[in-house]
């Protein structure tokens, strides 16, 4: 399989789905002539034209609403937010319309729309541009929330999202666009709600998603040097959750650490811990530990930003704590 970047994998997914289905179109800030703020949409304007690759004003609520309306009448919009931080301005359309109209219409109105964009911290972008938004969005019934970690998953999950008849929140790590990995050419679908074991192990389960998977894998390498075999589990879809995969892993390892870039209070990791406690309590030989960002707005200074975000050393320390409790 060819090795390509995460951004190229997402680009492939959109191009293939736009070729397959003329109802698929892309709309957002700088997606056309500028080729995307992170160059994810590079070449799409030239290939599909300005009626299917649409540059918008800086008006998130407006173009999110246009996408919701388009989805109601049978089109399949992909709405790109330059960053999920900017989606706060569009939450009324996402939460009150996209997430609810299929339910409120008794299933008569389908809502095949994908909202996608960059999430989490990058490098010194400050408090207003470094937030992890998945916990906010996972709270809303009616939304599917996906958070791929590697290029192959990015392609397969985005294709599945575009084909689904429900609204999908598609979260991409801002620092992962340049990550490389092997990606199948042509038809490659990763089903919604199916997780993946990124590294098998027997001593402790480490659950992580999006770019935190890479932090977890780095921690697993550290632990391997000490004779500890960590299993890294990537849910991939955060809502609906592959609960059985998580439970099966914990039943095998008897210990669990959950890693997320978001804040600790009411985080996705808290929900995952709850599900594991309910379904695998008798298999746990230690309390579940969570490694999260510190409960503060993101500092601008590089050294302070590094201190806030989870790193491999913190994850490895948590794993050893549950092992030697």
Catalytic positions are 60, 129
Name the E strands within 89-158: 114-119, 144-146
H helix and E strand count, the chain: 12, 14
DSSP string, 203-215: SEEEE--TTHHHH
Kindly state the helix (H) or strand (E) to which residue 76 belongs, with its residue range. strand 76-81
* Backbone phi, psi, residue 298, to 5°: -65, 125
Instruction: Identify whether the C-beta of residue 215 lies closer than 8 Å to the C-beta of residue 208.
Output: yes
Question: Which residues, in sequence order, are CB contacts of 63 under 8 Å at separation 6+?
Answer: 27, 28, 56, 57, 79, 90
| Closest to 247 measured CA to CA, from 261, 231, 260 | 231
Cα separation of 194 and 157, whole Å? 10
| Closest to 53 measured CA to CA, from 87, 5, 19 | 19
* Tokens (6 digits) for 218: 């780095």
Cα separation of 178 and 298, whole Å? 23
């Amino acid at each position: 399989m060819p090795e390509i970047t995460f951004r190229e994998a997402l680009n492939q997914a959109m191009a293939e789905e736009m070729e397959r289905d003329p109802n698929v179109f892309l709309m957002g800030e700088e997606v056309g002539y500028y080729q995307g703020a992170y160059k994810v949409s590079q070449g799409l304007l030239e290939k599909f034209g300005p009626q299917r690759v649409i540059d918008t004003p800086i008006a998130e609520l407006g173009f999110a609403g246009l996408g919701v309306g388009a989805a109601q009448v049978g089109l399949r919009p992909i709405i790109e937010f330059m960053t999920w931080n900017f989606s706060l301005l569009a939450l009324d359309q996402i939460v009150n319309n996209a997430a609810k109209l299929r339910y409120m219409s008794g299933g008569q109105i389908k809502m095949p729309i994908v909202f996608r964009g960059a999430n989490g911290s990058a490098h010194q972008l400050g408090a207003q541009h470094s937030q992890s938004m998945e916990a906010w969005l996972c709270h809303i019934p009616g939304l599917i929330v996906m958070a791929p970690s590697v290029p192959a998953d990015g392609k397969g999950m985005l294709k599945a999202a575009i084909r689904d008849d429900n609204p999908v929140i598609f979260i991409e790590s801002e620092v992962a666009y340049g990550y490389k990995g092997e990606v199948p050419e042509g038809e490659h679908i990763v089903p919604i709600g199916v997780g993946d074991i990124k590294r098998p192990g027997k001593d402790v389960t480490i659950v992580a998603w999006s770019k935190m998977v890479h932090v977890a894998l780095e921690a697993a390498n550290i632990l391997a040097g000490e004779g500890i075999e960590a299993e890294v589990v990537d849910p991939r879809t955060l809502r609906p959750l592959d609960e059985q995969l998580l439970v099966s892993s914990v039943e095998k390892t008897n210990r669990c650490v959950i890693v997320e870039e978001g804040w600790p209070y009411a985080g996705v990791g808290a929900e995952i811990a709850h599900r594991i406690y309910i379904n695998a309590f008798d298999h746990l030989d230690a309390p579940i530990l969570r490694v999260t960002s510190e409960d503060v707005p993101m500092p601008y200074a590089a050294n302070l930003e590094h201190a806030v975000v989870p790193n491999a050393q913190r994850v490895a320390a948590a794993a050893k704590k549950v092992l030697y409790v």
